[in-house]
Chain A
Amino acid sequence: QKEVEQDPGPLSVPEGAIVSLNCTYSNSAFQYFMWYRQYSRKGPELLMYTYSSGNKEDGRFTAQVDKSSKYISLFIRDSQPSDSATYLCAMGPIYSGAGSYQLTFGKGTKLSVIP
């Protein structure tokens, strides 16, 4: 079983739809949960960041973490064509000594919002 599982999609929705993106994970030590958005030919950019369980809202975006189920979600309300991108979940940290940490990423879900 991979440490982080994410449905690669692709996911295609009409403009204005509510989008739900999800990841499951197996490492119960994860404490930080992030969502990155990656446009074509660009690097990932941090979209949302949550510590431990609970919800966090930022405009049209809501991140949810359920540590008991090892399941995280990103909801996008009133989706726009500009939301078309690949969304990657990331979690950690995995400490490797000497103050170093790394994140574990899902493979990403490709989202297309059709006008």
Chain B
Amino acid sequence: KAGVTQTPRYLIKTRGQQVTLSCSPISGHRSVSWYQQTPGQGLQFLFEYFSETQRNKGNFPGRFSGRQFSNSRSEMNVSTLELGDSALYLCASSPGQGAVGYTFGSGTRLTVV
């Protein structure tokens, strides 16, 4: 059974650019959540998508956005990158509908220079 796949694994971007990260959840999982992980703040919730609808959002600025496609694959976009956006971005999938416990991907390491 394939796990959660995130691409790319590593990215280096310049301040002011934008970036798109991709996540393919476990087959049959309809919920995809995105988290930002930094040494100082730990894991912080960005947003959750279920059946192509964003149904929950964390406390991040509007520069962070996402979407989910009909096959449950999800993308997140960060516009006007700042140095503080350097982090590991993790995608987690779950069956949804109250299921507790995520399966995480290996993450995308974003470095903003």
Q: Is the CB of B45 within 8 A of A88?
A: no
User: A70: shortest Cβ distance to chain B, in Å?
Assistant: 18
Q: Is the CB of B100 within 8 A of A32?
A: yes
Q: Is the CB of A102 within 8 A of B48?
A: yes
Q: Is the CB of A100 within 8 A of B42?
A: no
Q: Is the CB of A98 within 8 A of B56?
A: yes
Bound together, the chains give a CA A100 to CA B45 distance in angstroms of 12
- Per-residue CB contact flags for chain B residues 69-113 toward chain A (1 = under 8 Å, else 0) read 000000000000000000000101000111011111111000000
Q: Is the CB of A101 within 8 A of B98?
A: yes
Bound together, the chains give a CA A102 to CA B42 distance in angstroms of 15
- Per-residue CB contact flags for chain A residues 31-52 toward chain B (1 = under 8 Å, else 0) read 0101010000111111001000
Q: Which of A32, A49, A101, A107 contacts B42 (CB 8 A)?
A: A107
Q: Is the CB of A99 within 8 A of B97?
A: yes
Q: Count A interface residues, CB 8 Å.
A: 25
Q: Is the CB of B98 within 8 A of A46?
A: no
Residues in B neighbouring A107, C-beta threshold 8 A = 41-43
Q: Is the CB of B107 within 8 A of A43?
A: yes
Q: Are A43 and B104 also in contact (CB < 8 A) when A99-B50, A100-B50 are?
A: yes
Bound together, the chains give a CA A46 to CA B96 distance in angstroms of 16
Asked if B1 CB lies within 8 Å of chain A CBs, one says no
Q: Is the CB of B42 within 8 A of A98?
A: no
Residues in B neighbouring A41, C-beta threshold 8 A = 106
Q: Is the CB of A96 within 8 A of B56?
A: yes
Q: Is the CB of B55 within 8 A of A88?
A: no
Q: Which of A99, A100, A103 contacts B102 (CB 8 A)?
A: A103
User: B72: shortest Cβ distance to chain A, in Å?
Assistant: 15
- Per-residue CB contact flags for chain B residues 30-56 toward chain A (1 = under 8 Å, else 0) read 000100000001110100101001011
Q: Which of B55, B92, B104 contacts A99 (CB 8 A)?
A: B55
Q: Are A99 and B98 also in contact (CB < 8 A) when A42-B106, A46-B103 are?
A: yes
Nearest residue, chain B, Cβ from A43: B104
Q: Are A102 and B56 also in contact (CB < 8 A) when A41-B106, A43-B105 are?
A: yes
A contacts, CB < 8 Å to B: 32, 34, 36, 41-46, 49, 88, 92-93, 96-103, 105-108
